[in-house]
Homo-oligomer: A and B are copies of this chain.
Amino acid sequence: MPITVLGLDADDTLWHNETFYRLTRERFNALLADFADAETLEAEIAATEHRNLGLYGYGAKGFTLCMLETALTVSKGQVPGYVINEILAAGREMMNHPVEPFPGVHQALEELSTQYKLVLITKGDLFHQESKLAASGLGDFFSGVEIVSEKKPETYLRIFSRHGTGPEHAAMAGNSVRSDILPALEVGSYAALIPYHLVWAHEDAPLPTDHPRFVELPSLADLPQWLAEVS
C-alpha cells in the first residue's frame, strides 16, 4: 500500500521539550495587549498564517512576517515601532535555531520530505508549536501543521483524509504508544514508535508488538528505510 503522508509528533520526537525558549505566546500577547486579547491574537495569527501559507511556508522568516502582519492588523496600523523591533529580534532569534533537533532528524526529514507529505501533528497552542518548528530549522520540510486537543482515532482519520488519500496511505511517528501509535493503527495507518525515554514509552500503554503495521525504531533516522520497506 503506497504511503503518501507522514504524520510526526513534535515535542520529544523531533526535539526535546525545551523548558527554556524565549519566544512564547505570552511574550507576543504582552507586546500587543493594548490592542487585542490573547484569544483574538491566536485567531488572527492563525488566519494570517493560513492566508500566507503558500508564500511563507513554516520557516522562521515566514513566521516572523506573520507576527508582523498580525501586529499591524490587530492594532489597525498603530503598533509602536519598538514592538515591530521586538518581533524582528524574536525572528532573528528563531533563525539562530535555539530549538535543536535530535541527532539525525534534520537529515531524515530532508529525505522523507522528497517522498512524503509531512504533517506535524501535536497538542499545545499553535503559536508555541509553530514558533518551535520555525526555530528548529525543520519548518521548510513540512506541508502542514495540525494542532489538536486530543489524539484519537478520528483525529488521524480526519487529518490523513484532508492531507492525503486516507489513513491507509499514511504513517504516524511519535514517542507515545497511547497518543501516536494505537489510534493511528486503529484507523488503518502505519505507526512507528520512536521512544524518548524507553521505559516511559512502554509504561504509556502496552506495545502492539505483533501488529503488522507497527514498528519500534531506535531513532527517527531509521524511519526512511522502514517506510520504504512497508510502502
Docked complex Cα distance between A82 and B72 (Å) = 9
Q: Counting CB contacts under 8 A, is A78 at the interface?
A: yes
Q: Which residues of B contact A88 (CB under 8 A)?
A: 65, 68-69, 72
CA of A85 to CA of B75, assembled, Å: 12
Best-buried of A52, A80, A81 by chain B (most CB within 10 Å): A81
- CA of A59 to CA of B95, assembled, Å: 14
CB pair A55–B85 under 8 Å, yes or no, is: no
Whether A52 lies near B82 (C-beta < 8 A) is no
Contact bitstring A68-87, B, C-beta under 8 A = 1, else 0: 11001001111111101100
Alpha-carbon separation in the docked complex, A96 to B52 (Å): 11
Complex contact B65–A61 (CB within 8 A): yes
Q: Scoring A residues 191 to 208 as 1 if CB is less than 8 Å from chain B, else 0, what string do you get? A: 000000000000000000
Let me know if A28 is at the binding interface, CB within 8 A. Answer: no
Contact A68 B84 (CB under 8 A): yes
- Taken together as a complex, chains A and B put the C-alpha atoms of A55 and B91 apart, in Å, by 10
- A95 & B61 in contact (Cβ 8 Å cutoff): no
A62 at the interface (CB under 8 A from B): yes
Docked Cα-Cα span, A158 to B95, in Å, equals 31
A113 to B78, CA, bound (A): 43
Instruction: List B contacts of A65 (CB < 8 A).
Output: 61, 64-65, 88, 91
CB-CB nearest 10 A-B residue pairs: A77-B81, A61-B61, A55-B95, A72-B81, A77-B82, A72-B85, A69-B88, A55-B92, A72-B84, A61-B62
